[in-house]
């Protein structure tokens, strides 16, 4: 599993809902109706989830603008090697590895990728 997949798992809580017991179906009076597709999953408010995690931990550093603090908040590896891997996964090629330029680009790429994968990321985080 890649670093970004780990971020998504932590933010989106990818747990499959338990199936509710099926009630016996009444006998059809006519042709059986097609089953309706399940509703799409609700979008995840990324900022609200991260604020909640930060509150539970009694802080969270500057996770809104620091990729290192975001990774630490999510209990993920924030080392230079981990950030190099994340840069490769997200196609970030800004500045030398570990530079402020690359870290800023990584943070923005994470917000963009979360938004593309069903997260609601406010403009205040994406700017």
> Cα 93–78–74 angle (5° rounding)?
115
Q: Is the predicted pLDDT of residue 23 greater than 60, yes or no?
A: no
Q: Which residues contact 82 (CB under 8 A, 6 or more apart)?
A: 3, 71, 76
User: Domain residue spans in the chain?
Assistant: 43-118
Decide if 120 contacts 126 (C-beta within 8 A).
Answer: no
For the question of whether the overall pTM of this predicted structure is more than 0.85, the answer is no
Q: Which of 2-11, 25-34, 101-110, 111-120 has the lowest mean pLDDT?
A: 25-34
Residue 120: strand pairing partners: 45
Q: Is the predicted pLDDT of residue 75 greater than 60, yes or no?
A: yes
Decide if 69 contacts 60 (C-beta within 8 A).
Answer: yes
């Amino acid at each position: 599993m890649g670093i970004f997949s780990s971020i998504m798992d932590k933010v989106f809580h990818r747990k499959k809902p338990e199936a509710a017991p099926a009630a016996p179906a009444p006998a059809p009076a006519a042709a059986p109706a097609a089953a309706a597709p399940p509703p799409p999953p609700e979008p995840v408010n990324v900022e609200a989830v991260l604020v909640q995690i930060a509150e539970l931990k009694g802080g969270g550093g500057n996770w809104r603008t620091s990729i290192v603090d975001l990774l630490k908040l999510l209990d993920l590896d924030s080392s230079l090697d981990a950030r190099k891997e994340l840069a490769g996964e997200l196609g970030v090629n800004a500045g030398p590895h570990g530079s402020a330029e690359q870290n800023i680009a990584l943070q923005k790429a994470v917000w963009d990728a979360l938004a593309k994968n069903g997260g609601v990321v406010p403009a205040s985080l994406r700017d």
